Structure 1
């Protein structure tokens, strides 16, 4: 097992580090995760690529959030729902969308993912975490 996964007792969230929407969602999650359940890494980082390889996902994966929880990998809407179920109330109520068939949820997810750079913008490089949240990043 990858050393990053062995060392982490947390749920790992891999995000597109250059996407403004993804950066905003990371900050959103951190504010609503007072217990510090989630740790983050950029999909483009060496650590992110190592974790993707460990899960059998291509290193070039940047069109989805990836959640690693107890050794299981989740992508797209399943990953998003795994995140919200661990956030503070009322956000965890969104986990109720798990009853919607994954194929339908993923249609919406893929549409947003396809348009995220156009709608929200992107950076040339991955976000540098502030000192206050740096401990949450792998």
Structure 2
């Protein structure tokens, strides 16, 4: 892995997604990740650099070492880089993506109903500001 930060793009109005970002930020002691909402200008610009539709909202997106990962693959690659027992979950990468993504998609399809959604994207607290993607810190 290079010294360049990995970027986690998420649905900024989804409560489950926001809780996941809080989870990542709390455990990112090595400062490897930047996070940003898929709906924000910086997230859209980064996606366009990789020829991904700027209106994409279907899943978590991880941009790492110049490659884009979606859905369960993105989630497992993030877990692999967190401290504690979270890297253990990376063993599930051996399962066919069709199985992993079916579970991911089922949760994703129900995320607003189960966890709710906000009316606007999450804003970083002053302490988190350096961890959030913006047009000035786009790594790719």
TM-score normalised according to structure 2 size: 0.91
| Aligned residue in 1 for 2:13 | 18
CA distance in 1, matches of 2:66, 2:26: 25
Offset from partner CA, 1:86-108 (integer Å, 9 cap, x none): 00111111111011111110000
In the alignment, is residue 75 of structure 1 matched against residue 70 of structure 2?
yes
Q: Which of 9, 26, 32 is residue 31 of structure 1 equivalent to?
A: 26
1:28 CA drift (Å): 0.2
Relative to the length of structure 1, the TM-score reads: 0.92
Structure 1 unmatched runs, 5+: 1-7
State how far apart, in whole Å, the 2-side matches of 1:16 and 1:66 are: 9
1:54 matches 2:29: no
* 2:119 corresponding residue in structure 1: 124
Q: Deviations over 1:25-82 (max 9, x none)?
A: 0010111110110101110001111111111111111110110001000000110011
Runs of 4+ aligned residues of structure 1 deviating over 3 Å after TM superposition are none
Q: Over the residues paired in the alignment, what is the CA RMSD in angstroms?
A: 1.0
What is the distance in 2 between the residues matched to 1:24 and 1:131?
18
For 2:113 and 2:31, how far apart are their aligned partners in 1? Answer: 31
